[in-house]
Structure 1
Amino acid sequence: MASISARPDAASNETFSPASATIAIVTYNRSGLLTKLLESITAMDPKPGHVVIVDNASTDDTTAVVESFRERLGAELVYRRLDENTGGSGGFSEGMRVAYELGSTWIWLMDDDVEVLPDGLAKMGAWAPRFKSIQGRRYDFDGSEFYWQYRVAEPLAIPIPYAPSGFDESGYKEMNSGCFEGMFIHRDIVGQIGLPDPRFFIYWDDQTYGWLASRITTSVIVNEFVLRRTREIKQWDMGIRHMNASSNAYRYYIMRNRAIIKRYYRSLGVYNPVLFGFGTALTFGKELIRLLLVERTVRGTSNLFRGLRDGRKISRDAAWKPMPPLVAAGAAS
């Protein structure tokens, strides 16, 4: 990837139009959760111009559920059912592509296990004239305030778990990460950094995409609650923070995908092998703690080692290239 242009300092004079926004949703075999999300969109005021739903080859009644909302959603619905499960990474890459090709100025990404608060788009739109990569806040399943790790220790390529959670009177904090559960991003940024990388399949994809965005624009998390999680996840309560349960698939991709991040770092000239390796070791240790204290088992460690092994193949792949930009340098649409 070529060097990325410097971030703009001035706020945009562009007036936010809700119709210029597209909500892009990725779903897989969770039609009940998708129903809750679509119901919440029907209650939004204002509504987006489009809602794009990417279905990762679900085998349940997802198609019927989507069609049942077509006439009452209040926004143009675009449904893409994929031939195979491409993971969250592939789904969000396709959702971003469809939204971008629709001409959307703003693209709001979300999983199927959240619902949108009625004034969510209005709250995000209020920040749109100032920033081009914005993350709102969300409530957890139990109604508590969900803490998201919005800062990355760049040399280590890992999230900083105890970055301050409070906001000052500005109402925002700069971030250098991203989360596809609520990322609100301008098409100019998408054009410059390209689509999310589907090769991640799951994990680290949104963090890396948000990091790429933060290199060319001031990315922020704003003190606005716009989403609510609708699925309960097993957690270890650490007081201020929580550690979620995982799965063998997640454990594998957590370690394998470190190699993809490494390739991006190398392409941009920010890779330090010692510090990055230390970040990988810390990630491995964190996953062992997750197994022992959250899931209370030692089974699953083999998936961590498999991920490291397969990551070495990615590191040595001479044909590997980062995702290309969608527009030529200096020609943002």
Structure 2
Amino acid sequence: MHPTDSPAAVVAAVVVTFNRRAALQKTLARLLAEPLDHVLVIENGSTDGTRAWLATLDDPRLAVIEMDRNGGGALGFETGMREAQARFDPDWLVLMDDDARPQPGAIATFRTGLARGRWPGAEALAAAVRFPDGGICEMNRPWVNPFASLAVFLRVLAGGGRAAFHIPDSAYAPGTDRALDGTSFVGFFISRAGVARAGYPDGRLFIYGDDVLYTLGLTQAGGRLLFAPDLGFEHECATQIAGAIPRPFWKIYYNTRNRWLIYRRAAGPVLFPLLMALMLPKWLATGSALPQGERRICRKLIRLAIRDAWRGDFSRSHAEVMRIAEGG
């Protein structure tokens, strides 16, 4: 067994990709320039030449798993983590999307931190994720559970919104490690002990919230997750507007269904019914400004998502969700 507090620790990266060859090329170039022992790519059925390009690479640290279908990021990360553990027995995994990558030197900084005992007792770490221009990437801003702290909960009720439970800009200053309840899978480092505690992500979720549920599950089970701003990542994604209706419309289904699951886990059995009494009317009224046809599709997807989440039913296929989203 490799010691997790030594430069000899085995570190493996897991990257999930689908139809973003140009972004993946940048990410792999960056990863293979870092002191990683293994890089595992989960190729989710791309049709843009990604597989053919990957087949031309010959770095011995690189391994590729070609999925027989696009199971979304959730199945990609579940498969990637399971396969990386089975193939490489790493001390640490680091996860990312195909359009995200460590800043130069980030993995070396991570190894140095391990060697110096920088994060004692931590089973997982969250990197500081920024856009390529240096701005903080909001979709990857770590957070604390607002239902686990009365002070945070009161700030939310007072109108603090998302900012009340997501870490502030000041936390991104170097050397300001702090405890978290959850984070995203971009720049997420997890140790062997963390995987043993939390298991693997739920691949049935397809997209949205698999990282939230997994990291919250880790910390609720007693695992220590720290924000480590000295570990820099960049995410080459478009800015997302909070509360905007997802496009294309099929994303509405997964966004709604998985938010239900997130709220249930975060709020717990006592507060969850009260929370949903507030949220459901808002969800069901979504799309009021849309044209009638789009509004009908949007609300149908939301109703189906609520029903499936209530029942714990994950059997609805992506093909069916796509058909409904296209008006079928």
Q: Which runs of 5+ in 2 are unaligned?
A: 316-328
Deviation at 1:196, TM superposition (A): 0.1
Q: CA deviation at 1:39?
A: 0.9
Which whole-Å deviations, capped at 9, do the CAs of 1:190-212 have from their partners, x for residues lacking one? Answer: 12221100111100111111101
State yes or no: 1:31 paired with 2:21: yes
Contact in 2 for aligned 1:234/1:245 (Cα 8 Å): no
Q: Which amino acid aligns with 1:227?
A: F
Q: 1:160: Cα distance to partner?
A: 3.4
Identity fraction in percent: 24
Match of 2:169, as an amino acid? S
- In the alignment, is residue 96 of structure 1 matched against residue 81 of structure 2? yes
What secondary structure, in the 3-state scheme, does the structure 1 residue paired with 2:56 have? helix
Contact 2:252 2:301 in 1 (8 A): no
Task: For residues 301-332 of structure 1, give each alpha carbon's deviation from its aligned partner in whole angstroms, at most 9, with x where no partner exists.
Answer: 43354134233234225899xxxxxxxxxxxx
Aligned residue runs from structure 1 range 277-292, under 5 A = 277-278=277-278
The amino acid that maps onto 1:81 is: E
Where does structure 1 lack aligned partners over 5 or more consecutive residues?
1-12, 237-241, 321-333
SS at match of 2:16: strand
Other-structure match for 2:251: 250
Partner of 1:273: 273
Query: Residue 51 of structure 1 aligns to a residue in which SS?
Result: strand
Q: Which amino acid aligns with 1:28?
A: F
Equivalent-residue separation in structure 2 for 1:83 and 1:119 (angstroms): 34
Matched residue of 1:221: which SS? strand
- Structure-2 residue corresponding to 1:62: 50
- 1:165 partnered with 2:169: yes
1:87 aligns with 2:89: no
Where does residue 230 of structure 1 map in the other structure?
236
- Shift in CA distance, 279/30, structure 1 to aligned 2, threshold 3 Å: same
Question: 2:136 corresponds to which letter in structure 1?
Answer: E
- CA deviation after TM superposition for structure 1 residue 100, in Å: 1.5
Deviations 1:53-101 (A, max 9, x none): 0011111211222233323xxx621210100000011101111111121
Q: Is the contact between residue 16 and residue 128 of structure 1 (CA under 8 Å) also seen in structure 2?
A: no
Match of 1:329 in 2: none
Give the distance between the partners of 1:154 and 1:185, measured in 2 at CA. Answer: 24
Q: Which amino acid aligns with 2:39?
A: V
| Native 8 Å contact 2:102 2:187 kept in 1 | no
1:191 corresponds to: 196
Deviations 1:84-134 (A, max 9, x none): 000011101111111121211111000000222221112233145441111
What are the equivalent positions in structure 2 for 1:120-135 lying under 5 Å apart? Answer: 120-125=106-111, 126=113, 127-135=118-126
Q: Tell me, what secondary structure is at the counterpart of 1:223?
A: strand
State the 1:42 CA deviation: 2.6
Instruction: Tell me whether 85-94 or 110-119 shows the greater mean CA deviation.
Output: 110-119
Q: 2:63, 2:269 → 1: CA distance?
A: 39
- Are the counterparts in 2 of residues 265 and 271 from structure 1 also a CA contact under 8 Å? no
- Answer whether contact 1:131 1:218 (CA < 8 A) is retained: yes
Change in 2 beyond 3 A, CA 1:204/1:282: farther
TM-score where L is the length of structure 1:
0.74
Q: Does 1:303 align with 2:298?
A: yes
Would you say 1:113 and 2:106 are equivalent positions? no
What letter matches 2:77 in structure 1? F
* Displacement of 1:229: 1.9
Q: 1:152 is paired with a residue of what secondary structure? A: coil
CA deviations 1:248-279 (Å, max 9, x no partner) are: 2322211122343466579x756631124435
- SS in structure 1 at match of 2:64: strand
Q: What is residue 145 of structure 2 aligned with on the other side?
A: 152
> Residues 19 and 50 of structure 2 are in contact (CA less than 8 Å); yes or no, is this contact kept in structure 1?
yes
CA distance in 1, matches of 2:65, 2:229: 33
Contact 1:152–1:176 (CA under 8 A) maintained in structure 2: yes
TM-score by length of 2: 0.75
Correspondence 1:210 to 2:210 = no
The Cα shift of 1:223 comes to 1.7
* 2:170 aligned counterpart, secondary structure: coil
Whose helix fraction is larger, Structure 1's or Structure 2's?
2
Render the CA deviation track for 1:2-33: whole Å, top value 9, x for unaligned: xxxxxxxxxxx842336511100000011111
Closer/same/farther in 2, CA of residues 139 and 314 from structure 1, 3 Å limit: closer
Shift of 1:225: 4.4
